[in-house]
Chain A
Amino acid sequence: MTARILIIEDEALVAMELRFVLEDLGHEVVGTAADARSARALAAETEVDLALVDIHLSDGATGIELGRELGQVSGITILFMTANPGMVRDGVAGTIGVLTKPTDERAVQKAVDYALRRRKGVPVDYAPPELQLFG
């Protein structure tokens, strides 16, 4: 199951590593955005299945609102990836859950698989343990 994935992350090294991991898994990374404005632009001009969203971006803690909007308005499946999961402790409507950084390839792979299965409506037994689900 391959997908078109948008990485929203302001740390270039973290974004680059994530891109390699996702490409190794056969996904297509449609772009990398470091702030909310460029993320919206990318989401508007290209088709995106899944976005991995950091909360603290180069323009501040704009990730939460951005994730909510892309999930609810643009119909993109949203997974938060942050070093500060406490910021989304109460969950964000229209998004799946949060993965705590730093993490590893295996956890990213399982979380992305899980999110894409949910997007396709494929039944999933249980979520990977590293992923904290909302609601």
Chain B
Amino acid sequence: MPAASLAPHEDERLKALRAYGILDTGPEQAFEDIVSLLAEAFEAPIALVNLIESDRAWFKASVGTSGMTGSSREVSFCAHSIASGRDQLVVPDATTDARFADNPLVTGEPQLRFYAGHVLRTPEGHALGALCVHDIKARPDGITPLQSRMLEVLAGQVMAQFELRRAVKEREEGVKALAESESKFRAIADSMPQMVWSTLPDGFHDYYNARWYEFTGVPPGSTDGEGWNGMFHPEDQERAWARWQHSLQTGELYEIEYRLRRHDGVYRWTLGRAQPIRDEHGSITRWFGTCTDIDDLKRMEQGKELLSQELSHRIKNIFAVVSALIALSAREHPEARAFASAVRNRINALARAHEFVRPHSEVSKPTVGDTTLHTFLGALFRAYADGDGRPRVRIEGEDATFDDQAATSVALLFHELATNAAKYGALSAPGGHVLLRTRKAGDRFVLTWTEVGGPEVSEIPARTGFGTSLATLSVEGQLGGRLERQWLPGGLVVEADLPATALSRRRAALKST
């Protein structure tokens, strides 16, 4: 007896069969009705809804089987049906069919002879089993077209019932999964240190986590709808309401700081944020939001801001006191006046540089323009303006920012250059001026100081003063650059060639990590 060969993709077929959740379920009227009707219409003693599993045939519904609920797969006619690849299999006389002649159900009880079955095929094409009739008498004429049609229609009905069952099963699993995900969400939301809430697309609040009720102390459910707005500080309510309405209308991210009333009546600064959840068409289905208590953070920030302002004031004040101290000390020693004046001017240049150093708080920002190299140099050279207030040191080229580490060096370098120019160079002559060009050149920043219109330079000065040493030290020692002086006949030209990072070393260090 040749057993029915396995259908192609047998593993997938079995998976599909089990997914319907039909196997080993109890009798159901819908299937019983179908097999009864089929048996009567065929005037046959046996009819089955027969599902073929890996090693057995199992009857979902049956008539005339004397309590049998299935058979082994080897002896099953329906197993041959599904292996045939066709939709219907008709065996007029099993005794003359090589596939069934020695089948125990043919040779022994119940001595089956006739078989007609229609495969139960899923929409994906998997054959789960067959709807069939058996007779113990041979039917040489096979089946009529009407009987064929009846088999087909009723098999379709069985599959429709199966599909319905699968849909219900999937839905139940979906509901279960949803309930599980909902309880997971609540567990996460309730364990968060933040307040979490959610609204319908129109902004109606219908969910708050445990933290919200813990913080506000209001009874559960009492802030549903629009009740939340009353929890805000009266001065913040209108602003928060307007911002929230704007987000609801535009779908824009909601973000705002307001004071929220805690259960003890204290208003705490809170960061409120919310974003919309959209469906596949882009329509908003929900808003999810959080409230974060930022009161401590805000206080700390204010304290820090206050402290840095205070420090900035003190540093600048110290420069003023030192400068005054030098001037006062020199009054007792008239012979030291020139010396004191030089020191004082250097101190003042340092103080000016520190005013332009980043970072700045809102209040410590200098009065003019940006805190860049050019604005600082402009301020430093303001004292050298001509009789009409026009600058005599003209600054051109690419600007840069500088930090406190570079401030001292930059201030001393240009203070010395300008002081020297005013004493001996271009700024000592009525029509003379200086051109200061700054440019970025790859990883270098180059500043070129060109004096024009001063007294003619006849020879290189033999002696270098302290101011010159100070300028060299600033560039080559502190800034890690190179300083080159050229005494051209038309005037002094000084080039300071710095690493591009020298002006903002701290920022460069931050960037590279």
Chain A residues with a Cβ under 8 A of chain B: 11, 13-14, 16-18, 20-21, 56, 83-89, 98, 100-105, 107, 125-127, 129-130, 132
Given contacts A83-B351, A104-B345, contact A17 B324 (CB under 8 A): yes
Docked CA distance A77–B73 (Å): 114
Residues in B whose Cβ lies below 8 Å from that of A18: 324
Which residues of A sit under 8 angstroms from B355, Cβ to Cβ? 85, 100
A126 and B388 form a contact (CB under 8 A): yes
CB <8 Å contact, B321 and A129 = no
**Would A102 and B367 count as touching, CB distance under 8 A?**
no
Q: Which residues of chain A are near B389, meaning CB under 8 Å?
A: 126-127, 129
Least CB separation from A16: chain B residue = B328
- Residues on A with C-beta less than 8 A from B327 are 17, 20-21, 104-105
**A121 to B389, alpha carbons, bound, how many Å?**
21
Closest-CB distance, A29 to chain B (whole angstroms)? 15
A84 touches B328 (CB 8 A): no
B352 close to A83 (CB less than 8 A): no
Which one of B125-133, B275-283, B311-319, B400-408 is at the A interface? Answer: B311-319
- Are A86 and B320 touching (Cβ within 8 A)? no
Whether B95 sits at the interface, judged by CB under 8 Å, is: no
- A103 contact set on B, CB distance < 8 A: 323, 348
Q: A102-B351, A104-B344, A130-B383 are in contact. Are A11 and B367 (CB under 8 A)?
A: no
Q: List 26 A-B contacts (CB under 8 A).
A: A11-B317, A11-B320, A13-B321, A14-B321, A17-B328, A21-B327, A56-B317, A83-B313, A83-B317, A84-B313, A85-B366, A86-B360, A86-B364, A86-B366, A100-B355, A101-B319, A102-B320, A104-B327, A104-B341, A104-B344, A105-B327, A107-B383, A126-B388, A129-B383, A129-B385, A129-B389
Which of A86, A98, A102 meets B363, CB within 8 Å? Answer: A86
For B385, the closest partner residue in chain A by CB is A129
List residues of chain A with CB within 8 A of the CB of B364.
84, 86
Let me know if B321 and A11 touch, CB within 8 A: yes
A83 to B310, CA, bound (A): 12
* A125 (CB) vs chain B CBs: closest residue: B388
Could you tell me if A100 and B382 are in contact, using CB atoms closer than 8 angstroms? Answer: no
A71–B110 CA distance with the chains assembled, in angstroms: 124
Cα-based distance from A83 to B347 in the complex (angstroms): 13
Interchain CA distance A107-B388 in the complex, whole Å? 16
Residue of B nearest to A102 (CB): B323
Say if the beta carbon of B299 comes within 8 Å of chain A.
no
- Chain B's closest residue to A20 (CB) is B331
Flag if A85 contacts B367 (CB, 8 Å).
yes
Instruction: Determine which of B322, B324, B328, B382 lies in contact with A129 in the assembled complex, contact meaning CB atoms within 8 Å.
Output: B382
Cβ contact of B382, chosen from A86, A88, A130, cutoff 8 A? A130
Q: Compute how far the CA of A129 lies from the CA of B392 in the bound complex, rounded to whole angstroms.
A: 12
State whether the Cβ of B188 lies closer than 8 Å to any Cβ in chain A.
Answer: no
B56 within 8 A of A: no
Instruction: Determine if B365 is an interface residue (Cβ-Cβ < 8 Å).
Output: yes
Give residues 332-390 of B contacting A (CB, 8 Å). Answer: 341, 344-345, 347-348, 351-352, 355, 360, 363-368, 382-383, 385, 388-389
Other-chain residue from B319, B344, B363 in contact with A83 (beta carbon distance below 8 A): B319
B325 at interface, CB cutoff 8 A = yes
- Per the 8 Å Cβ criterion, residues 282-332 of B in contact with A are 312-313, 316-317, 319-325, 327-328, 331
**B383 nearest CB across to chain A (Å):** 6
Q: Of residues B316, B351, B360, which shows the largest number of chain A Cβ atoms within 10 Å of its Cβ?
A: B316
Identify the interface centre among B323, B327, B360: most chain A CB within 10 Å of its CB. Answer: B327
Tell whether, in the assembled complex, residue B348 and residue A104 are in contact, meaning their CB atoms are under 8 Å apart: yes
A6 → chain B closest CB, angstroms: 18
Q: Return the 6 tightest CB-CB contacts between A and B, nearest first.
A: A83-B316, A102-B323, A17-B324, A101-B320, A129-B382, A14-B324
